[in-house]
Amino acid sequence: MRRVDAVFWGVLAAVFLAGLALTEVMANEYYFNAMYVILQATIMAVAWNILGGFTGYVNFGSAGFFALGAYTSIVLDKALGLPLPFLILGAALMCGLMGLGVGYLTLRLKGVYFAIATLAMAIVLETFVNNWSYVGGARGVYLLTPEKHLWFKSYIQMLFVAMLGLALGCIAISRYLNASRLGRGLAAIRDDEVAAECAGVPTLRLKLVSTTLMGAMMGVAGAPYPFFVTFVDPLSAFNLFVAVNSIAMPMIGGTAHWLGPVIGALLVGTAQEIITVNVSSELNVLLVGVMLVVFITLAPQGIVGLAQKYWKRRRG
Amino acid sequence: MVNRRTLLRAGVAAGALFAAAALVPPAAHSQAKQPIKIGFSMALTGGLAGAGKAALIAMEIWRDDVNKRGGLLGRPVEFVYYDDATAPAKVPPIYSKLLEVDKVDLVVSSYGTNEIAPAMPIVMRKKLVFPSLFGLAVNDEFKYDRYFQIMPAGPEPKTDWSRGFFELALQQKPKPATVAIVAADAEFALNAAAGARANAKKMGFKIVYDKTYPPATTDFTPIVRAIEAAKPDIVYVGSYPPDSVGMVKAANEVGLKAKLFGGGMVGLQFAAIQKNLGPLLNGVVNYDFWVPEPTLNFPGVNEFLAKYQEAAKGKGVDPLGHYLPPYAYAYLQVLEQSVNAVKSLDQAKLAAHMHKATFKTVVGDVKFGRNGEWARSRVLMVQFRDVQKDNLEQFAKPGKRIVLYPNDWKSGDIAYPYKQ
Amino acid sequence: MDLFSNAIVAGILLGAFYAAVAVGLAITFGQLDIVNIAHPAFVIVGSYCTWIVNSRLGLDPVLAGVLLTPFFFVAGAAIYRIYYAAFERTGQESLSGLAFFFGVMFIIEVVLILVYGVDYRLVTAGYIGDTIEIGYVGIPYRMLVPCLVATALTLGVWLYLSRTFMGRAILAVAQDRLALQLMGADPVRIKQFAFGLAIATTAIAGALLIIIGPVEPSVGRVYIGRAFAIVVLGGMGSIPGMIVAALILGVVETLVGTFMGPSWAPAVAFGVLLLTLAIRPSGLFGRQ
């Protein structure tokens, strides 16, 4: 294994162990709640970036995938009473399938048309869920947190560790895509799809991989959500903020590099959490807006881009 | 190569640590006269913010009133609250921060089912008393014995909500036979409609139209026309403020021939909407919780409203404050009276007291049933009458919203059938 | 039959209004390829400004909207300047531009909340509440007036773009920027003018919106999907296509709402959009 890879896996393992250790030493549940939200945002940002940043197709319908993951979780729980890992798996499968479908959509639609189509799909999905009484329809559905939480001290700790593991896994997949031959193919598609096709890049296959992975990851982000909030209704599951955050965070962090969405999510997510519990009110929404505008205007390549430029200048 | 990446990662880690440090609370302050902290989240932005901000104003009036009287148990009362932006996902982190970091002594709920439910698992785990503000039948799911709902929807909230409407219909001669039920595709409206359906069936009405509409609907004329085509005798609507306005306007424009119209329309209780709709409201029979009729002149309510109306000036909230604010004040009165009665902050004792006692509040006598809802329903059915154009002040006085049901608070007879 | 003809008429009235909301986007997105997702937010600003003029000065809302257009034009031109300097000049548009306007949308919404609060705003006008009856079709003035004004607006924009020099320059810059430069016109100034024009239309669209129903800051969000769907369905760059698409959307929504149940209306509307994208992505009248 290359030294770079070893360092990466080392850091990943260290972070995960730190998370586990945290569940032992910290009784204060607030941090787990806050970190759950940030981790969820991280997975969404990393997922979006696979299609948006690496492959160059903008997905406006992130909320659709997220909500589908959440509702798949609800359905499987109501129908079969499966434990959390199976719910996550089910959500990943379902949303991966939807991602596959979206992938075929890219055959016909490019650029902004594709983005509009994803938005339309999210709205159509939301309308279906609104009318499906098994999951409560527009009335919403309650999901009580179950009593058992393995060896953890509370349910939120278990959710936190699960999300941490999932987030680290998604980051690893994203990094692999970025650095591998697959990733170069995706970058070729992003830069000029026609040229890539002519050069022999299997564009359709790569795009399908990209969309399926994105879909599956977003589904995974949404699967534990019903247990976190206890009450899910289409209005809050499909809301615009989820979609905007999933675009804003990679953009602020930098879309070309796998680290970009991670940095963006940590930065913006943490800022949002801090503002919610300290200053609160409208400023939270204003924050996203201002950060987005400022970063996009001054640093179109994101924070990673800034860092790269800085290092290049340092090297001389 | 390795250096840059590791440094970037280290930078990220440092940033995260810094952020975590920012989340750590400041050191605890001195021991003397420690204030009693009441913690909650409230919708100050987002869809429910109009009501949430009004509720907060009312709650702050209560806090100031209590502190003027010497506080609770001799200690000053402080609020610790955060904006949940009408987003359910924000509620669990907020309540865990309130309890674990801010270490509040008492908690109350946010406004609305969406914002109350996510806090339930947390308060249940900590076995806290949870006075709640306007959530429909939340406790049907959780069955928590320390939940207390200040909305007077009665022991069976889902059906008690619309029962008055149908009972009024039953009283008319000739008895109406058919009903149309229409509701917005959203939590409260659908629950109200479900209750209406159950009531209609139980009381022998035939349902000739039963559909829902998406909240984003712009024009309600086609919907009202479709209802009219089914020729219902009475029409029950479950709607939110913008759709309520749309439905009332459309009903007037289409010339709806139903004999009874209204039921569960949120928004017709708000001053700005009442003023704008004006005479279009005449004849509509709708739910309400408090109106300035002589039968509802509870001790303290007029003084409270005067204070609220003063505080609400220029804040972009409902200027009259008849709907939510009195109840936001009352749910804290319940807490206050319980703390004073048991002379402690012990959650178990408070809960026991809240189940037993009858509280005297600005919204009258409050008594809770076993499930935490009101022991007796007091969902009023009021009818708009003699409403003039473009006049806000008329709603501050009696005579414009006549209470028809329940009998204990009736202030006038129904003008039937509904005419435009 | 009665119900059907009423539904068609109501759909046309609604569709005309949708066209007024979308016409500005047809210019910015359809012709200039600027993904202005904040467009409905500008419409809401138009609604609020109309409300202020209506409640303080007592002017008719439509009149208020028209009077506001110069101010909105200037604001639009200014925003374009920023957008150009940050993105187009450096060739970064599409994704960055999209994110920029997302940010602008949130900032607008929050500023509106901070300044006006979240209570619903409505306007009063003499004709709101009355209905005229033609045979068995009833047309409320509350929908008729916006429909007429919207039609005048969209036809006016279309005529302007196709007949006047500046209008044709806007169409030209959309199609072939280099050729335009070679002909001696400054594409940046033309685009700036076009963007200003698009934002100016939101003043009127906002006035119409608040005539139809109550407005509060987040109402704009439901129009994002509709506006983009209309522009794409009609065909990028085609104003008559956009008008037809808006009418189709209005009629389909109303028919589904009347006969199937309103809760399915969004699915049908966007399903139509998806179908169009699948079969003919350039839209109804779009350039291939």
- Contact between chains at B253 and C258 (C-beta distance less than 8 A): no
- Contact between chains at A34 and B93 (C-beta distance less than 8 A): yes
Query: What DSSP designation does A144 have?
Result: P
- For chain A, positions 233-252, list CB contacts with chain B under 8 A: 233, 235-236, 239, 241
- Chain B contact present for C111, CB below 8 A: no
Task: Round to whole Å and give the CA distance between B251 and B232.
Answer: 13
- Contact between chains at C103 and A296 (C-beta distance less than 8 A): yes
- In a domain, residue C155? The reply is yes
* pTM confidence score: 0.84
Burial class for C166, CB neighbours closer than 10 Å (0-12, 13-18, 19+): middle
Locate C129 and state its tokens. Answer: 């509440």
- Chain B contact present for A143, CB below 8 A: no
Q: What is the pLDDT of residues B212-237, one digit of tens each?
A: 888 778 888 888 988 998 999 999 99
- Provide the pLDDT confidence category of residue C264 given band limits of 50, 70 and 90: confident
Q: What is the pLDDT of residues A169-227, one digit of tens each?
A: 999 999 988 888 888 888 888 888 888 888 888 888 888 999 999 999 999 999 999 98
Segment B242-247 shows an average pLDDT of 89
Ranges for all domains in chain B classified under CATH 3.40.50.2300: 36-155+301-367, 157-295+379-409
Contact A237, A68 (CB under 8 A): no
pLDDT of B317 higher than 60:
yes
Contact C245, C230 (CB under 8 A): yes
CATH number of the domain within which A22 lies: 1.10.3470
Size of interface A-C (CB pairs under 8 A): 121
Q: In CATH, what number does B157-295+379-409 get?
A: 3.40.50.2300
The CATH class that applies to domain B36-155+301-367 reads alpha beta
- Chain A contact present for B5, CB below 8 A: yes
- Contact between chains at B23 and A273 (C-beta distance less than 8 A): yes
Instruction: Give B8 to chain C, closest Cα distance, Å.
Output: 24
- Contact between chains at B5 and A7 (C-beta distance less than 8 A): yes
- Among residues C113, C140, C174, C161, the alpha carbon closest in space to that of C17 is found at C140
- Provide the pLDDT confidence category of residue C98 given band limits of 50, 70 and 90: confident
- Pick the more confident residue, B49 or B126: B126
* A58-67, B359-368, C172-181: least confidently modelled range: C172-181
| Among A124, A282, A293, beta carbon nearest to C114 | A282
Structure-token match 């200053």, residue found? A279
Largest alpha-carbon pair distance within chain C? 60
- In a domain, residue C15? The reply is no
- Pick the more confident residue, A25 or A250: A250
- Chain C contact present for A143, CB below 8 A: no
Q: B3 to each of A1, A3, A171, B14, C7, how far by Cα in Å?
A: 18, 11, 20, 16, 68
| Phi, psi torsion values for B149, nearest 5 degrees | -105, 125
- Chain A contact present for B212, CB below 8 A: yes
- Contact between chains at A239 and B117 (C-beta distance less than 8 A): no
Contact A259, A58 (CB under 8 A): no
The contacts of residue A292 (CB under 8 Å, 6+ apart) are A248, A251, A252, C99, C100, C102, C103, C106
- Provide the pLDDT confidence category of residue B18 given band limits of 50, 70 and 90: very low
Largest alpha-carbon pair distance within chain A? 64
Instruction: Spell out which residues of chain C touch residue B280, defining contact as CB-CB under 8 Å.
Output: 129
Q: B91 to each of A70, B40, B84, C264, how far by Cα in Å?
A: 18, 9, 6, 31
Instruction: Spell out which residues of chain C touch residue A240, defining contact as CB-CB under 8 Å.
Output: 221, 224
Q: What is the pLDDT of residues A159-181, one digit of tens each?
A: 899 999 999 999 999 998 888 88
| Phi, psi torsion values for B409, nearest 5 degrees | -120, 15
Total structural domains in chain A? 1
Contact C172, C57 (CB under 8 A): no
Q: What is the pLDDT of residues C102-153, one digit of tens each?
A: 888 888 888 887 777 777 788 877 777 777 888 778 788 888 889 999 999 9
Residue range(s) defining the domain that contains residue A87: 3-315
How many C-beta neighbours within 10 Å does residue A194 have?
10
Q: B220 to each of B11, B275, C140, how far by Cα in Å?
A: 55, 20, 11
| Among A111, A120, A130, beta carbon nearest to C270 | A120
- Provide the pLDDT confidence category of residue B28 given band limits of 50, 70 and 90: very low
- Predicted complex ipTM: 0.78
Total structural domains in chain C? 1
Segment B182-203 shows an average pLDDT of 90
Residue range(s) defining the domain that contains residue C37: 20-220
How many C-beta neighbours within 10 Å does residue B214 have?
23
DSSP track, A232-285: E-HHHHT-HHHHHHHHHHHHHH-SSSTHHHHHHHHHHHHHHHHHHHHT-TTHHH
Locate C178 and state its tokens. Answer: 């280099």
Distance of CA B224 to the CA centre of its chain: 27
Instruction: Spell out which residues of chain C touch residue B231, defining contact as CB-CB under 8 Å.
Output: none
Q: What's the mean per-residue pLDDT of chain C?
A: 84
Highest mean pLDDT out of B74-78, C33-37, C113-117 = B74-78
Q: B198 to each of B97, B139, B285, how far by Cα in Å?
A: 41, 20, 19
